[in-house]
Amino acid sequence: MTVTVGTDTAKTRKTLTVGDQSVSYYSIDAATQAGLGDFSKLPAALKVVLENMLRFEDGKTVTVDDIKAFAEWATLGGQNPREIAYRPARVLMQDFTGVPAVVDLAAMRDGIKALGGDAQQINPLAPVDLVIDHSVMIDEFGNPRAFQMNVDREYERNMERYQFLKWGQNAFNNFRVVPPGTGICHQVNLEYLAQTVWTDTDQNGDMVAYPDTLVGTDSHTTMVNGLAVLGWGVGGIEAEAAMLGQPISMLIPEVVGFELTGAMVEGTTGTDLVLKVVEMLRAHGVVSKFVEFFGAGLDKLPLADRATIANMAPEYGATCGYFPIDDETLRYLRNTGRDEDRIALVEAYAKANGFWRDADYAPVYTSTLHLDMGTIVPAISGPKRPQDYIALTDAAGAFGKYIAGQRSEKSVPKDEKADWTEEGGAPAPHHIPGNEGHHKSQKVEGEDYTLHDGSIVIASITSCTNTSNPYVMIGAGLVARKAAALGLNRKPWVKTSLAPGSQVVSAYLEAADLQKDLDAIGFNLVGYGCTTCIGNSGPLQKEISEAISAGDLIATSILSGNRNFEGRISPDVRANYLASPPLVVAYALVGDMNVDITKDSLGKDHDGNDVYLKDIWPTSDEINALVEKTVTREAFQSKYADVFKGDEKWQAVEVVDSETYNWPPQSTYVQNPPYFKGMSKDSGTIHNVKDAKVLAVLGDMVTTDHISPAGSFAESSPAGQYLLDHQVPVREFNSYGSRRGNHEVMMRGTFANIRIKNEMLDGVEGGYTKGPDGNQTSIFDAAMAYEDAGTPLVIFAGEQYGAGSSRDWAAKGTALLGVKAVIAENFERIHRSNLVGMGVIPFEFTNGDTRKTLGLTGEETVSIDGLDTIKPLEVVKAHITMADGATKTIDIKCRIDTAIEIEYIEHGGVLHYVLRDLAKAK
């Protein structure tokens, strides 16, 4: 390949010629030659951000000093937290987060007209792709009809939403919708949408090449960093601002280098590797930091495994987990059907502009970790957090410890306490049906089996994390093939499912003749979407659900996903474990977390002989041979040829062509939100918090799932009562996630997770608090009562507040309930940003203060001073009046991090800021 580089007349702009193709690009070397600093030791991930500064430098939003700060970052040992304005190339959304984003855009069209502007001012300026992947539920499973029946129910439930999204596709420029049944947004992005190097024409009509970058309204947008595409999740609010041309305000991040050496050993998977990486990085602490993977081990790490690691960046807390461009990047682009000219450009651009990883790649990092992949062993994580790593050999014992902790001494008869071991080890599986030891059990009505603590009732191969990886998917198929051939089958109480992230997965499973083997043990195709991983696991068999409830059982799930937070997977399941797809299949065969599958029998073969895990586990050679044979460039090209067309059902969805949306008053899915009603043309000021009451006192690791659940809800809940009042039958409730276009449902669902614990109440789970009268009531009803009285609200919380998904409704709901401030020990990155974007101020305790050291009970009254003159990250005074009248004054740190965020709060939120800005421009 002949590559010539010639200097252009403008600043750092050069010309790159690849074959007969010439493009302009912004050269980092030229920036050094121009005296802006030495950038040679920057990590590739940070060079992507630097290139963005070079391309958008205008002397105002981006200055020469911003560019020089990146050179200082390297000389200062990998840190220089300067505020910068970053503009990603594009935006990715899924339908759970995408529907409310489009609702907001539609509302902004109404809002700008009310301010005297033009509705056409509200259009995405950056390309936006929305993939409908969060709506399919597993109502039907374990039979050949499952896929079609689930698709039919999906359309029945979601037609209002789909009509709205199709209206948005027609009404807005730069907005495309990938129809239902195509795949999961991150996998579609990895396999098709992402280009690694993006090209576009500038204002002069010249073609410019630059790194492919994006933000997404789903936290697992990070998956595409495995393909050297810098991207991360943001709240829908921040994404909407980015669509409308507002730069993302951020601090130049620290970059943690994670060196991988060695190679994976026989019997281990990319899932085992990522679970260890999550544990290590959580322990290291990488919140708000980039992680970049480097080292000789990358030479032996396929891109599918890289994507698995990048996908779980939210689980290890980082902004992203980035892999630089190298030969493996090119191989994957070619194998997934990308254009050869694009692949040549990616290689030439990466080498010309310093993004290429070779043997000499040795940048400066803020800090480093090291992992020899040869030390990886099979593992799972659980029962409540992705970072709770457990070697597979320790899994049964760890579950015993968990049960021991859950079943306190009060619940264990004295004569049974002797059965508890010091290590909390589980009793032998055959002990359990008789209810010996500390396990509870319950006979299932009408069935010939008994459930007990640890019974696996859900086994699901699901989620972008693993279904994007053909090595683990082929591995799962081979485990199923060997098990079926020996006569093994899933246990009858296990709800099994296979929900791939793209149709390509089905293509290669069929080509390898493995789908029939998966079908044989119950892993039939149930749909293409996120399903179990986001709580769309569907209902369990009625009798099983009733047995779990009647026996107060700790039922379990095993899934190949990335999230296992409390209350997320199923309301019937209290312990959830993440595992590789092959292990999901293996656990479905035993149906019990108490079984040590590394040494106990999985069952009997046709001749009555014991079958062990080693008997059905495929070799790496078997897996690699089938991957090589069946995962082809032609399969990707075929399945993505008409990706935006959809099936007959999608094509039949009818919409009205209109500039603004005609909000149907009867709709329970899409309603005009109140954010912009009665909005003036001018911003206000930030007000001090005065005499606020406490809505909730929450503990550590309260996730966005706790704050705004995505799954099912009961008819007795405030949201359920709202739907019943609007003549929606229980069968049509759908999920919280599907109803995010209706603020009335979502307000009632805020802090409504069945497992959330408000410390204002003793031993109560669910969305409850004390109302103004001191009596227990729902959080929604209490908030409305306080609103009627004109009383502001605050929330106290512990560590890692807002961990997990990037859902903006966790912040929107908080704001609509009247909460003015959240005071926590610390915040996860995205939720902090979302709170600011909705006008809610986040604060952190200082000086070792916590809700516990202060003795907070929720009976307090809180006032916060200094907000009318607040500066970024300033420490202010909070005055807490206790229930007995005593007053404590403490210092709290304001987590409005940047100057532009001050303006967002002054305007009441980022969308208000953008709307007023556009109206003034008009």
d(CA 126, CA 51): 18
What is the residue whose two structure tokens read 């929450």? 698
Give the per-residue pLDDT at 415: 35
Type of residue numbered 852: K
Give the per-residue pLDDT at 438: 65
What is the residue whose two structure tokens read 């390309």? 127
d(CA 126, CA 90): 5
Q: Which of 20, 24, 23, 29 is nearest to 10 (CA)?
A: 24
CB-based contact 101:240 (threshold 8 Å): yes
Give the per-residue pLDDT at 433: 37
Give me the DSSP letters along 534-589: GT---PPPHHHHHHHHHTT---EEEESSS---TTTS-TT-SEEEE--HHHHHHHHH
Type of residue numbered 99: V
Residue 33's DSSP bridge partners are: none
CA angle 435, 440, 444 (to 5 degrees): 90
What domains, with CATH codes, occur in the chain?
90-375 (3.30.499.10), 382-630 (3.30.499.10), 689-708+750-921 (3.20.19.10)
Give the per-residue pLDDT at 311: 95
Which long-range contacts does 59-64 make (Cβ < 8 Å, 24+ apart)? 61/85, 61/247, 64/36
pLDDT along the chain (922 residues), means of 10: 47 92 96 95 98 94 95 95 94 90 94 93 94 92 96 92 95 95 94 97 91 94 97 88 88 97 96 96 95 98 96 94 98 97 98 97 97 97 92 96 77 34 32 52 95 97 89 97 98 97 95 98 95 87 96 96 84 95 98 97 96 98 96 95 93 92 94 92 92 98 92 91 95 88 96 94 95 97 98 97 86 97 93 93 98 97 96 97 96 94 94 90 74
Give helix then strand counts, H and E, for the chain: 31, 35
Q: Which of 686, 693, 679 is nearest to 789 (CA)?
A: 693
Give the per-residue pLDDT at 410: 41
